[in-house]
Amino acid sequence: MSSAVGPSALRELAARFGPRLERSVPLAPLTTFRIGGPADFFLRVHDADQLAEAVRAARELELPYFLLGSGANILVGDRGFRGLVIHNAAGGIRFLDDMRVQAESGVLVFHDLIDATVARGLGGLHHFVGIPSTVGGAIWQNLHFLSPAPARERTVFIEEVVESCTLLTQENEIRTVGLDYLRFGYDYSILHDRDDIVLDVVFRLDLQPVEDLKRVMMENLAWRDEKHPDLWLYPCAGSIFKKIEGVGAGRLIDQCGLKGHVHGNAQIFHKHANIIVNIGGATAADVRALIELAQTTVERELGYRLETEIGMIGEF
Ligand SMILES: Cc1cc2nc3c(=O)[nH]c(=O)nc-3n(C[C@H](O)[C@H](O)[C@H](O)COP(=O)(O)OP(=O)(O)OC[C@H]3O[C@@H](n4cnc5c(N)ncnc54)[C@H](O)[C@@H]3O)c2cc1C
């Protein structure tokens, strides 16, 4: 297993970042799956300037790099990542006026941003209570939640409260963009197709009574408790497969009798078949085996092709 970082790039990286540059850092604890080998090189950034500097350095030195948020939508391979992992802890939150808040991209939507905005009676982000995500990860995937309360039953997307986004573009320019540029869709933003990095986001929220916001949050959390794994007991990455309109990937897997199926130390979650959980010491290979089993069985028995929603990072 040889590193993708040559000696001269490594010297340059060490000269620029000094002791902040770490080596052979295990990635499993930085993911909600608790799975994955080490990053050869690792740098934690604490504000948007440091984030832009780290990405620019990796690009100049032509190093493979990966920007890690809260690691809630990825599976890291057992052999880890050959290159530089940049861990985004840029956590600044600034209220611009009564309705608008600017958050750096490493801010945790839950709890930090939701707590700060709800405390001021600002609604919009509160729907996403209980979902692990940084602001950057939420823009990448257009974070969404199917509101369970009968009166409000609809999918709420984070794009609804995004006013603008400051990016380090793939051309290395700092640029503020709006919704037209971001081209949000279901589980999609332009970030899937361009190597742009979100530095910060301005959200425009609604003034609402705090009790109303808290009631919705309690309802959403109760729904999650019933359907979703408790991450402490069952580390996972949320839904594994993309939505299939009108059918539901989980329902198809369930129809094939795979709910609860175990491979190694990974399990197709017994309460929700579109989630794979780590039942203690699972490897990425265990998870991949279950993914392949679900895909081949559903295609053979029901004729649907399941596509993964989560990112596969590093070497497997
Ligand atoms: C228990 C559980 C429940 C979940 N429920 C939901 C749900 O209801 N709805 C939902 O939508 N999702 C859900 N998810 C998935 C996950 O929470 C979201 O996809 C979340 O937005 C991931 O954010 P992250 O910071 O963890 O991103 P990561 O997993 O760290 O990264 C994901 C991708 O985003 C990229 N990225 C991260 N930050 C930036 C940035 N600043 N600029 C550019 N690219 C960036 C990464 O490079 C990577 O490609 C759930 C996950 C779990 C574990």
Nearest to 49 by CA among 197, 218, 265, 256: 197
Q: What angle do CA 307, 308, 310 make, to 5 degrees?
A: 160
Which residue is it, tokens 């996972």?
A: 236
- Distance (angstroms) between ligand 1 centre and the Cα of 300 equals 30
Residues near 214 by beta carbon (within 8 Å), at least 6 away in sequence: 118
Nearest to 138 by CA among 161, 121, 168, 119: 161
Minimum-distance ligand 1 atom for the alpha carbon of 311: 49
Residue nearest to atom 2 of ligand 1 (CA): 238
Mutate to test the pocket of ligand 1, among 44, 141, 277 (most ligand atoms within 8 A of CB): 141
Could you read off the pLDDT of 83-107 as tens digits, one per residue? 999 999 999 999 999 999 999 999 9
Which residue is it, tokens 């540059």?
A: 21
Could you read off the pLDDT of 200-255 as tens digits, one per residue? 999 999 999 999 999 999 999 998 888 889 999 999 999 999 988 888 899 999 99
- Distance (angstroms) between ligand 1 centre and the Cα of 137 equals 4
Minimum-distance ligand 1 atom for the alpha carbon of 69: 30
Query: Quick check: 3 pLDDT over 70?
Result: no
Q: What are the C-alpha distances in Å from 230 to residues 65, 183, 233?
A: 31, 32, 6
Query: Quick check: 53 pLDDT over 80?
Result: yes
- Distance (angstroms) between ligand 1 centre and the Cα of 186 equals 13
Residue nearest to atom 4 of ligand 1 (CA): 238
pLDDT reported for residue 141: 96
Q: Encoding tokens for residue 202?
A: 């301005």
- Distance (angstroms) between ligand 1 centre and the Cα of 142 equals 9
pLDDT reported for residue 152: 67
Pocket of ligand 1 (CB under 6 A): 32, 66-74, 88, 105, 131-134, 136-138, 140-141, 143-145, 191, 197-198, 228, 231, 236-238, 311
pLDDT reported for residue 1: 53
Section 277-291 average pLDDT: 98
Q: What is the pTM of this model?
A: 0.97
Nearest to 239 by CA among 289, 307, 179, 296: 307
Minimum-distance ligand 1 atom for the alpha carbon of 73: 29
- Distance (angstroms) between ligand 1 centre and the Cα of 136 equals 8
Residues near 15 by beta carbon (within 8 Å), at least 6 away in sequence: none
Residue nearest to atom 19 of ligand 1 (CA): 73
Section 59-64 average pLDDT: 95
CA 289 remoteness from chain centre: 22
- Distance (angstroms) between ligand 1 centre and the Cα of 164 equals 19
